[in-house]
Amino acid sequence: MKKILVTGGLGFIGSHTVVELQNKGFEVLIIDNLANTTLEVLDKITSITTIKPAFFNFDLKDRKAVQDFFNNNFVDGIIHFAASKAVGESVQIPLDYYENNIISLTNILQEMKVKNLSNFIFSSSCTVYGQADELPITENAPVKPAESPYGNTKKINEEIIADAVKAHGLKAISLRYFNPIGAHATAKIGELPIGVPQNLIPFITQTAVGIRQELSVFGNDYPTIDGTAVRDYIHVVDLAKVHIVALNRLLNNQQKNNYEVFNVGTGKGSSVLEVINAFEKVSNIKLNYKIVGRREGDITAAYADTNLANKELKWKAELTLEDALLSAWNWQLQLQLAVGSWQFSHKKAF
Ligand code: WQD
């Protein structure tokens, strides 16, 4: 049974990928410092697959801890999700973002070099393209100056990986995600934003369930179908599955080059208003929203040219925007039930 390390494996995309890895018969080891998730996610993964992943709770910035891990654990491949990922927050505390996202990566790559490990999958983002000159966006689109320190860490990390591959013969694939949304069909794992959600879908579901008063639509004066910004929303389960495809490409030595980059999206753009309409349809709820000014740093439109992933990985997204929105809604409803029962059981205790 191949052993795979998943860093950030208790996070939103990481947890869904762990489930898919276990479904495909991989043995999974998770490193997570719980900075942006809870230990409960480990139990939820176990309840979905009946297999409890090995879990190591430490910070990847701790070089000694990373060395100890690799001194005691052999892995056939690594999928690296662990990173700070809030665009707005990265503007407030850029140094923490550079320190966390870059040192975590170099610590792992150093150990891969020492232990002669290969097969590295990196969680990158379409944010490296900024506002692309042409749509849909191909992997050859120029990487542009980042709009945020978060985006810059993704750009820098891709360059670090490319240099490590050249110098030390690693094999690596960067997957440039478009907008991951939705939740697992069991509604046991999903997106867990801490505090006020920055991303559109959790803000929509929290508004629909009454946690938020009203959704603000950031701008309707963009040159798009209805004036609101366009994004390529991909179901997190489709996204999780493409990680397994990319991993097997490396494990089976099917890669064309030792470092490859793939855009991972549906290839379809949806405007904010189209997302709202689709959500209202699947949830049967009228969403309370208002149009406000544009958000600083937002681009007009981004959606993927998926030809390279379709052709080389023989992969394409299978789930629709509606599937993803319904799964996000079911996840939000389950969260309310969980909170409700927590409040109820704690109230009883007083
Ligand atoms: C989507 C659209 C907003 C909230 C970011 C990162 C990207 C990835 C996904 C990490 C935009 C609009 C949003 C709201 C709104 N993150 N919106 N009201 O900014 O496309 O991408 O998150 O990997 O790297 O850049 O996603 O969900 O924040 O916004 O109108 O309350 O929804 O303006 O057009 P974004 P988002």
**CA 59–ligand 1 middle distance (angstroms):** 27
pLDDT at position 339, please?
73
If pLDDT is split at 50, 70 and 90, which confidence band does 346 have?
low
Q: Which superfamily does CATH assign the domain made up of 3-182+234-264 to? A: NAD(P)-binding Rossmann-like Domain (3.40.50.720)
pLDDT at position 48, please?
98
Tokens of 100: 């966390």
Q: Whole-prediction pTM value?
A: 0.96
pLDDT at position 350, please?
42
pLDDT at position 194, please?
84
In the chain, what percentage of residues exceed pLDDT 90? 92
Domain boundaries, the chain: 3-182+234-264, 200-230+267-337
pLDDT at position 193, please?
86
**In the predicted structure, residue 199 carries a pLDDT above the cut 80:** yes
97, 98, 129, 150: the catalytic one is 150
Average pLDDT, integer, range 174-182: 98
The ligand 1 site (C-beta within 6 Å) comprises 85, 87, 125, 127, 179, 198-200, 203, 215-218, 229, 231, 272, 295, 298
Distance CA 188, CA 132 (A): 36
**In the predicted structure, residue 242 carries a pLDDT above the cut 70:** yes
If pLDDT is split at 50, 70 and 90, which confidence band does 342 have?
low
Residue 174, beta-bridge partner list:
122, 261
Ligand 1 atom showing the smallest separation from residue 231 Cα: 20
Q: Is 150 a catalytic residue?
A: yes
**In the predicted structure, residue 347 carries a pLDDT above the cut 90:** no
3-state secondary structure of 247: helix
In the chain, what percentage of residues exceed pLDDT 70? 97
Contacts of 198 by beta carbon, 8 Å cutoff, 6+ apart: 86, 87, 88, 89
Average pLDDT, integer, range 268-282: 98
**In the predicted structure, residue 19 carries a pLDDT above the cut 60:** yes
pLDDT at position 343, please?
63
Mean residue pLDDT of the chain comes to: 96
Q: Does an H or E element contain 290, and which?
A: strand 289-292
**In the predicted structure, residue 334 carries a pLDDT above the cut 60:** yes
Residue-wise pLDDT for 218-229, tens only, equals 999 999 999 999
What are the CA-CA distances from residue 83 to residues 43, 101, 251, 321 (Å)? 22, 5, 24, 26
How many other CB atoms sit within 10 Å of the CB of residue 163? 12
Q: Does an H or E element contain 122, and which?
A: strand 120-125
Check if CATH label 3.40.50.150 holds for domain 200-230+267-337: no
DSSP structure string for 272-287 = HHHHHHHHHHHH----
**In the predicted structure, residue 332 carries a pLDDT above the cut 90:** yes
Residue-wise pLDDT for 116-160, tens only, equals 999 999 999 999 999 999 999 999 999 999 889 999 999 999 999
Distance CA 164, CA 209 (A): 46
Q: Does an H or E element contain 120, and which?
A: strand 120-125
Residue-wise pLDDT for 53-89, tens only, equals 999 999 999 999 999 999 999 999 999 999 999 988 9
Residue-wise pLDDT for 129-141, tens only, equals 999 999 999 999 9
pLDDT at position 220, please?
98
Distance CA 140, CA 132 (A): 11
Distance CA 345, CA 350 (A): 9
pLDDT at position 344, please?
63
Residue-wise pLDDT for 288-315, tens only, equals 999 999 998 899 999 999 999 999 999 9
**CA 199–ligand 1 middle distance (angstroms):** 5
